[in-house]
Structure 1
Amino acid sequence: MPADATTTTGAGDLSAARKALQDVPHEPGAPKPDPILVADDIVRQFGGLTAVDVKHFEVQRGVITALIGPNGAGKTTFFNLLTGFDRPSSGSWAFNGTSLNKVAAYKVSRMGMVRTFQLTKVLSKLTVIENMRVGATKQRGEGLFSAMFAPLWRSQESANTKRADALLERFLLIKKREDFAGSLSGGQRKLLEMARALMADPELVMLDEPMAGVNPALKQSLLGHVKSLRDEGRTVLFVEHDMDMVRDISDWVVVMAQGQIVAEGPPDSVMSNQSVIDAYLGSHHDQDISEDLEEKILAEAQAEIDHEEDHRG
């Protein structure tokens, strides 16, 4: 995203991006009017296990998309594949029309697609402001030769520091500026990781379970920050188990189960989708259990308890 994109993207454009989803079919792999990320036939196998098998996937530009599913559905693995932290067994995917096949994760970030992690990746022995400076891209002082000549990079570092301070103010971390990142709470680390991601001025921000381990006091703050990313004209794709958060901020929801996309649509539509209910609760969760079957289940459970007690004795 250009540096001035947040000022040139109007509310009307943002509203149009969300309204465009109204005509998108509520079905797996549905094509979007203006996709920023497209993936086809992505398969990831670990030995004989197929962890991900996604036929087609698109992320609409300028909206917040949630990727949900039960534990073990393949969400984080899919995230890793899209961002270059893992390689698929087969398939193709592109960001802004540019193929990401065999593109290293750091190059994906430089292209404008950054991610955070479920387990935060702050640099614990660096201060908060140093963590922020690390997130800036195209730094002239990174080269061996240029690093020896401060006039070549000093002005850029000063500009990066001003930008970092502005983000720390925005994420309510400015008072922690000189503290070591390792001293921050879990929620503060989440905020720092999100703020650091914005130092790269990304078009697409990918958040892996941003609410995991965050106390209720910081939850609303994080929710507001995620919404503000969309309001700036950025695109957000996030993995989350907190269904209240998904309902609150998502424009579109994609559901994975057993490595595949089983449903797509607006939050309310997806939450009432039978495929989603089955994915979370099991396909026979709403069937009546006969007396004979109930007695059999109870007998098997009691036999297992008796067996364990015999072994203990």
Structure 2
Amino acid sequence: MDADAQSTSTSTTATSRAVDLTAVPAIPGAPKPDAVIVGDKITRKFGGLTAVDVDHIEIQRGVITALIGPNGAGKTTLFNLLTGFDVPDSGTWSLNGGSLQGVASYKVARRGMVRTFQLTKVLAKLTVLDNMLLGATGQRGEKLLSALFAFRWRGQEEENAARAHELLTRFKLDAKRDDFAGSLSGGQRKLLEMARALMVDPELIMLDEPMAGVNPALKQSLLEHVKSLRDEGRTVLFVEHDMDMVRDISDWVIVMAQGKIVAEGTPQAVMQDPAVIDAYLGAHHDTDLREMDEAALEAEAQAELEAQADGKATP
């Protein structure tokens, strides 16, 4: 396929996704046309605190979905539950119709759902290339008997190395391939984690605060890489506090507060949702609305939320 045809195909695909999402109701737990993840009655408690209490959630295939909410809303805990890094107290969830209940995190990754972490998990005393090679699955040389016979795994290792070099070039880390991962900047580590996740050739990538600790010079690069994942047909679910990023790249937004999903919709619709304004600002908690002009209060809260999105305040 030539560049023009590929561009047209990508544009058409993006347009069809937008049309699909316009038919989705902007309500918590909204059903999706082609959900890759479906979860029901997922709860997780820590002592007397209910961190996650999600009645129903669906993630649309092939789009970028943002999971947002104030600190302590339960976003990362939900990530941990979906990917097998934590065990819920109750609930069911599936990937492509296959249950993930009781499935270990490494097996979840093998099924095509991988994640990155807010605090990067690179192996500091291994080289960047070695970190990449660890992300490859099904390596024959990992088995004791096969490891004794180099002819059984050498060809596969060369293929993995070629794939790793291709990804490092794509993420502009090829010049760092022989450096220790611990020498990378915070932003470069984020890029390395994203590149390493692609060694699995995943269908769904979950990014936990990809912009946290990243300097402004690398933010735009990260944004473009996330968009490129969607253009390849992958599904992206990310947690983020940077509202500029959410508005820029997400096709759909899910909002959590106090462990529950309180709103869903397009970025534009969500930013104007009173439930979202209340979740972030708490504007309705300490005031008797019967004694105030509710419209004026909502306008004030909306203005503050927009200021946060413009980077003038911190959520």
Q: How many Å apart are 1:283 and its aligned residue?
A: 3.6
Q: Provide the C-alpha distance between the structure 2 equivalents of 1:199 and 1:251, rounded to a whole number of angstroms.
A: 25
Q: How many Å apart are 1:104 and its aligned residue?
A: 0.1
State the Cα deviation string for residues 270-301 of structure 1 (Å, max 9, x = none).
Answer: 000000000000042795999xxxxxxxxxxx
Q: How many Å apart are 1:13 and its aligned residue?
A: 3.5
Structure 2 counterparts to residues 47-196 of structure 1, below 5 A? 47-196=47-196
- Equivalent position SS for 1:101: coil
- Equivalent position SS for 2:92: strand
Structure 1 residue ranges (4+ consecutive) displaced by more than 4 angstroms after TM superposition = 285-290
- Equivalent position SS for 2:144: coil
Pairs aligned (count): 284
Q: Provide the C-alpha distance between the structure 1 equivalents of 2:287 and 2:15, rounded to a whole number of angstroms.
A: 42
- Equivalent position SS for 1:15: helix
Q: Provide the C-alpha distance between the structure 2 equivalents of 1:120 and 1:263, rounded to a whole number of angstroms.
A: 29
Aligned to 2:225: 225
Q: How many Å apart are 1:120 and its aligned residue?
A: 0.1
Any conservation in 2 of the 1:207–1:239 contact (CA below 8 Å)? yes
Q: Provide the C-alpha distance between the structure 2 equivalents of 1:88 and 1:132, rounded to a whole number of angstroms.
A: 31
Any conservation in 2 of the 1:251–1:267 contact (CA below 8 Å)? yes
Deviates more, 1:131-140 or 1:206-215: 131-140
TM-score by length of 2: 0.87
Structure 1 vs Structure 2 CA RMSD: 1.8
Aligned to 1:306: none
One-letter identity of the residue aligned with 2:105: A
Q: How many Å apart are 1:18 and its aligned residue?
A: 3.1
Any conservation in 2 of the 1:14–1:233 contact (CA below 8 Å)? no
Q: Provide the C-alpha distance between the structure 2 equivalents of 1:19 and 1:112, rounded to a whole number of angstroms.
A: 26
Structure 2 counterparts to residues 191-202 of structure 1, below 5 A? 191-202=191-202
Sequence identity percentage: 72
Aligned to 1:271: 271
One-letter identity of the residue aligned with 2:91: G
Greater Rg, structure 1 or structure 2? 1
Describe the shift of the 1:18–1:148 C-alpha distance in structure 2 as closer, same or farther (beyond 3 A): farther
Q: How many Å apart are 1:187 and its aligned residue?
A: 0.4
Q: Provide the C-alpha distance between the structure 1 equivalents of 2:53 and 2:284, rounded to a whole number of angstroms.
A: 24
TM-score by length of 1: 0.88
- Equivalent position SS for 2:230: helix
Q: Provide the C-alpha distance between the structure 2 equivalents of 1:207 and 1:164, rounded to a whole number of angstroms.
A: 20
Any conservation in 2 of the 1:14–1:62 contact (CA below 8 Å)? no
- Equivalent position SS for 1:226: helix
State the Cα deviation string for residues 206-265 of structure 1 (Å, max 9, x = none).
Answer: 000000000000000000000000000000000000000000000000000000000000
State the Cα deviation string for residues 31-71 of structure 1 (Å, max 9, x = none).
Answer: 00000001000000111111100000000000000000000
Q: Provide the C-alpha distance between the structure 2 equivalents of 1:117 and 1:94, rounded to a whole number of angstroms.
A: 21
One-letter identity of the residue aligned with 2:202: P
Q: Provide the C-alpha distance between the structure 1 equivalents of 2:207 and 2:140, rounded to a whole number of angstroms.
A: 28
Describe the shift of the 1:141–1:15 C-alpha distance in structure 2 as closer, same or farther (beyond 3 A): farther
Q: Provide the C-alpha distance between the structure 2 equivalents of 1:102 and 1:210, rounded to a whole number of angstroms.
A: 27
- Equivalent position SS for 1:32: coil
Structure 1: state its 5+ residue gaps.
Answer: 1-5, 291-313
Aligned to 1:305: none
Q: Provide the C-alpha distance between the structure 2 equivalents of 1:260 and 1:149, rounded to a whole number of angstroms.
A: 53
One-letter identity of the residue aligned with 1:172: K
